[in-house]
Structure 1
Amino acid sequence: MQWGRIVPVVVLALVVTGGLAGCDAEGRVQPRRDTEEKSVACASRIALDTPAERRAAADLVVDAEVDKTGRTVEFQGVYDVYDASVTDVSKGDDPGHTIQVISTSDQCETSGEPVEYFDGDVLEDEGRFRLYLTKADPEDDDSVWRLVVPGAAEPLTTG
């Protein structure tokens, strides 16, 4: 067989086998065993470990009092929605007194199932936080805000 014929065959084999794989909760590639299972797609995330890195990546940085609403929204999975009563805006345009926020999960996309968090939902305890945010859907002005990366919320102490 000539190279001109081998390369397309190898590329086709890689595409087909890649389409038969998904990922588990830790982001490892796993073969699909059952077509009845929910599909899972992995999105690699950039690590933003410092407040300066988070601030640079965020469209909006606010200090806010965060409370769980009991509502959910679908965004690559089912997320709990929080109301954030904004007390200070340190980056971005003033979004108004109260905005809706979701706490980005470090899990792969869940295809309509509730998301899970490896280290817990940083906003679950509610309270005062500095939030590093971006729009969940940049094309939709009414969409909720989301943390730029999982855990991109710093608890603020009172005092």
Structure 2
Amino acid sequence: MGENDISARLRALATDDKRRPETARLRDVFDDVETALGAGVPQADVLAELHQAGFTMTMASFKSALQRIRKERAGGVVSKPKTVAPSIEENSNKETKETASATQQATNEEEEDLENLSSEEARKVKRERKAQQFIKSESTNPLVKKLMDQQKDKDQ
């Protein structure tokens, strides 16, 4: 079993709606939900559409999940700034600006690519991209190490 096979299996787990909590699935369509709510669509109608898509949450859990996701997005993740020597900091700022510019350009290109897909396909691509951020290489991923060890035990 190669690293690519394991990575593909882990990505499949991260994008499989049957194995993911409803709040995680709601995060995938959160922007669309907020757009509908912002346009004046009642929460009950949005929830009814989600039920059509396979969600089973109650109105209370829907409201709670919306509140948690909004709070997560508003707060973001804040990390402590590192103390760096001035000369290194100046170079870092320049590299950061260049990286940010390149990242923004890549993001714009990715968004253009997603516009050509159906909404379901676009959500799947977004989930796969998000999952890719958390998948580590075989040498550092404890889950992959465990799977590899189990495979080796079976092979012996």
Report TM bin, short chain. Answer: under 0.3
Which protein has the bigger strand share?
A: 1
Which protein has the bigger helix share?
A: 2
Higher relative contact order (CA 8 A, sep 6+): 2
